[in-house]
Chain A
Amino acid sequence: MVATPQKPAYKVIGTRPVRPDGVDKVTGRAAYGADVVLEGMLFGSILRSPHAHARIKRIDTSKALALPGVKAIITNADFPTQESGTLDLGEGSANPKWLVDNVLAGDKVLYHGHAVAAVAAVDWHTAEEALGLIDVEYELLPFVIDVREAMLAAAPILHHDLRTNVRARNADTPKDRETNIAMHMRVEKGDLDAGFAEADIVIEREFTTSQFHQGYIEPQNGTAHWNHDGQITVWTSTQGAFSVRDQVATLLGQPVAKIKVVPMEIGGGFGGKIPVYLEPVAALLSKKTGHPVKMWMSREAVFQATGPTSATWDRVKIGAKRDGTLVAADVSLCFAAGAYPGSAVGAGVLCALAPYAIPNQRIDGFDVVTNTPKTAAYRAPGAPAAEYAVEAVVDEIARALDMDPLDLRLKNAPDEGDTNSSGAPWPRIGAKAVITAIKESAHYNSEIQGEDVGRGIALGFWFNGGMESSSSVAVNPDGSVSLILGSTDIGGTRASLAMQLAETLGVPYEAIKPQVVDTDSVGYTAVTGGSRTTFAGGWVAYDLGQEIRKRLTERAARIWGVDVSAVTYNDDATITGTDKDGKAQRFTFEEICRRLPSTGGHIAVSAMSRRNTAGPAYAGHIADVKVDRETGKVTVLRYTAVQDVGTAIHPSYVEGQIQGGAAQGIGMALQEEYWYDDQGHLRNGSFLDYRMPVANDLPPIEVILVEVPNPGHPFGVRGVGEVPIVPPQAAIRNALRDAIGVNFYHTPVTPTRILDELLPRA
């Protein structure tokens, strides 16, 4: 770990205690969505579109309804009509009109696997059998999968009422004709022409990236009960219980007061478990039948119909002076949003050039609908594709100038006070600290040996989110403190938040009892996403700890009969002072807690925090690869991830996040991609053929933690979970260039594509 000199001497922060949910998870007792069993429960299943694009002319459910055991069938028509609008999902937003049409298709199916109708039956097999008896008449329509083709004027149109929302000055994008381009945005600063005129070298390249899936191990699920008193309870696997509550309320046209969402343990999300798919359907089936209804997705449905990333088409042009100074950059990013607008291109635009201080720049982003599943957030949404393209061109510039790729990056890295792409000054950031740590690392200073081996590096940036978190605490007479949380625990946040409360109070970690509760039992808390939970939840824990310190100080003053100014709460959680007779007094934390019931009552406090001081995250990865020229197979020999983590609250979980992000990024770099046939059918909707790396595809991923504390957080926390997925695609691609002399312009670089380059042209 690379520690900064000014780091305070923490007692709990920086240790590696056992997670509170650990025993239940390793013994199989933890309750996930699939474990929900309720009296009288029915089972729901969904009929999905066999076509990429078709008009639904007629749905005849009579035969299916006649099957014994079938209790109800619903379609889009059973939902209340939605007006266009904006519903905040925490990480991203949704138009309720499109959201409901994605949950169950409206007048058209827009992708292979689009939900068409839902059945509730007495058991799963009956529900599945009923699907085969639903008769849907389709009118096939021409479809478009590729983002480049979707942007053409002659492309098949998905939404005839869609017009381009132009948020770009001086752009000639038409605003008033039928199109698949939902949005064109532009961010610019400086003088682009003057910048390129200054450049001694200009490199312009075009890139494409495939669609990737989050690949969480637990499929989407949801159980709902619409009670006879109108109260609706939803049990589900989600990154944000309140986000589910708000989406379900909107889609069902019900006030939030009627809806309680119980978050079950989650088997991974990575951004994909923010939008709702099954929950509102289960609720409506429950309303129709009067029974609780449980639903879950097959893996195939997860691939077909839940959020992959955008496939992208990107162009990057960068100009540099002979000494390596980057003077101008022109970037264009086209992201396939899937069936409905709302890709992560906006974040891609803001992240693309964030690792560099380039004075003259313009970044265009296009959000384009295609006949593929509606994309959802995936770990640093938008950033991996955008920064991959930039990092590839920067690498080519370093080669052209015969400069060390790290030196080039260090020369152009931003510092505090430099401005980002939208012109705002950077707060304290770790860009240069990360590059320096790479330069000093054992990996970067090691020799690589052998034929067809190579090394690549790439940087990554992610903003991190703040948003809103709430918590309650109760101080117990035995000296323990209950900590009530609204955040789904994905990456160890029960532990990391309990640790921050323990540090604030000066008590041991074991004294804090964290618990994640439902939406009726804690204040509004945004999604576990945007790498925000340890940051924002930590702020709340800190505020609550300070309030407990204040109240315990007041209690001691009352017991001793003195003014609070005569009492001190010490960092070891003792309270000292002098009583009204001038005698020195002291309580340990346990002693004063024991006195609470008899001296005025227990202490319970709630707090909400919404701060926009999340510290941005920088990362840099080093990859060594070996290529088998005969088969095109790539072996990742060694991999190191360096990252500014602000302050590592629980270093093991921070390292775990970084290793997980790097593993997913390596999968994108080499193996993973959605594969559509010429009918627009997704053909590899399984873990067999959607090739995420397995354990022995990866080397041990070494982690170097750099700690540049975030001044916007009491413990210096920066989000850590997302940025590690950003550098791998470019780091591997640049290593492949080093190994075999080939520049690749598409990810993943599969063995097929490597052979295409290495084999003699036919």
Chain B
Amino acid sequence: MQALRYARATSIDEAVRMLREGGETARVLAGGTDVIVQARERRRVIDLFVDIKHIPEVMALEYDPQHGLRVGAAVPLYRVYGDANVQRVYPALRAAAHVIGGKAIQGRASLGGNLSNASPAADSIPAMMALDGVAEIAGPNGRREMRVDEFCTGPGRNALQPGEFIVALRFPQPAPHSGQAWERFIPRNEMDIAVVNAACALTLAGDTVTAARVTIGAVAPTTIMVPAAVEALVGRRLTDDTIAAAGTAAKDAATPIDDMRGTVRQRKHLADVLVQRVVRAAAERARGN
């Protein structure tokens, strides 16, 4: 690791100014669980860290049944999964936040960081996409919003423009009779990177699916939505056949690679298995809501 500068921002405007002045080699520092490692291992050239953890808005977690959930970009994961409203209303988000890293990491790492890092295997991204998340972004040209499912553009790449950073993530209040679930496959039981992960949010009217979002990760350059799985579910009664069709659609949508964490064959198969599992689990919850 080379010597680098550290600056602490106490407002959004100050952070924007610091990032603009820092230029291309300035990076936002939230928990630092990705960027500090990247700097230490010289995977990125970083000359300036702009710490956003001292901006109140970025550290706030708010929920009300009207507006849904708003999580400041740097809120550490332990506050996300430890929040009673998140646990009750957004169990898929809770599940994903709960397994990223170990306890020490969860005290620092954030949803904003996990999204900005744009890893194809990121654990929180499938959940945030399934929950219809929106990123609030600040930058030199003021504020804008972007859907989470449009945010990542490739492995380690995102749609932020120079000087921009995520301020908060918003998730709408789920409709009545909705359920959601998130799962991943790892060879270990914790402290591991997903071979495949998946999430689903769906709404039921009786036994019929009226709305659904299905996502899979670690099977493409970014986490992907699976519209074909949604088509297989929406407007249909939830039977073993429709669930199997959703799984097959995920398998067909997956375009994974062979690497040290898994093979193409294994990952396509797991996309099928995990999507079936999250659809079943989401439906189970929907019936209880």
Q: Which residues of A contact B (CB under 8 A)?
A: 125, 128-129, 630-633, 670-671, 675, 683-684, 688-689, 691, 693-694, 696-697, 750-752, 755-756, 759, 762
Contacts and interface: CB of A to CB of B under 8 A. Distances in A.
B266 A755 contact: yes
Contacts of B263: 752
Given A631-B270, A755-B269, A671 B260 contact: no
Contacts of B189: 694, 696-697
A762 B269 CA distance: 12
A329 to B, nearest CB: 34
A488 B261 CA distance: 37
B175 interface: no
A684 B260 contact: yes
Given A694-B191, A755-B265, A125 B1 contact: yes
Q: Is the interface of A mostly helix, strand, loop or mixed?
A: loop
Given A688-B191, A694-B189, A751-B266, 12 more contacts: A128-B1, A631-B185, A631-B270, A671-B188, A675-B260, A683-B259, A688-B192, A689-B193, A691-B192, A693-B188, A697-B189, A756-B266
29 contacts: A125-B1, A125-B2, A125-B3, A128-B2, A631-B185, A632-B266, A633-B185, A670-B187, A675-B260, A683-B259, A684-B260, A688-B192, A688-B193, A689-B193, A689-B260, A691-B188, A693-B188, A694-B191, A697-B189, A751-B185, A751-B195, A752-B263, A752-B266, A755-B265, A755-B266, A755-B269, A756-B265, A756-B266, A759-B269
A751 B269 CA distance: 12
Contacts of B262: 752
Contact of B273 (A125, A128, A630, A675): A630
Contacts of A691: 187-188, 192
Contacts of A632: 266
Q: Is the interface of B mostly helix, strand, loop or mixed?
A: loop
A269 B190 CA distance: 25
B1 A751 contact: no
B2 A129 contact: yes
A409 B118 CA distance: 54
B193 A694 contact: no
Nearest to B260: A675
A212 to B, nearest CB: 15
A123 to B, nearest CB: 9
A675 B263 CA distance: 13
A555 to B, nearest CB: 58
Contacts of B269: 755, 759
Nearest to B191: A694
Interface string B234-275: 000000000000000000000000011111011001100100
Interface of B: 1-3, 185, 187-193, 195, 259-263, 265-266, 269-270, 273
A697 B3 CA distance: 39
A762 B266 CA distance: 12
Contacts of A684: 260
A671 B260 CA distance: 12
Contacts of B265: 755-756, 759, 762
A625 B269 CA distance: 23
Nearest to B277: A630
Residue picked from A630, A633, A684, A750, most chain B C-beta under 10 Å: A630
Contacts of A750: 187
B187 A671 contact: yes
B188 A697 contact: yes
B242 to A, nearest CB: 18
A47 to B, nearest CB: 13
A522 B61 CA distance: 62
A489 B139 CA distance: 57
Closest 8 CB pairs of A and B: A675-B260, A696-B189, A630-B273, A684-B260, A683-B260, A752-B266, A697-B189, A755-B266
A762 B265 CA distance: 9
B188 A631 contact: no
Nearest to A673: B260
A630 B195 CA distance: 14
Residue picked from A125, A129, A631, most chain B C-beta under 10 Å: A631
A633 B190 CA distance: 13
A688 B193 CA distance: 8
B25 to A, nearest CB: 16
Residue picked from B3, B187, B195, B273, most chain A C-beta under 10 Å: B187
A633 B195 CA distance: 12
A759 B1 CA distance: 45
B195 to A, nearest CB: 8
Contacts of B259: 683
Contacts of A675: 260
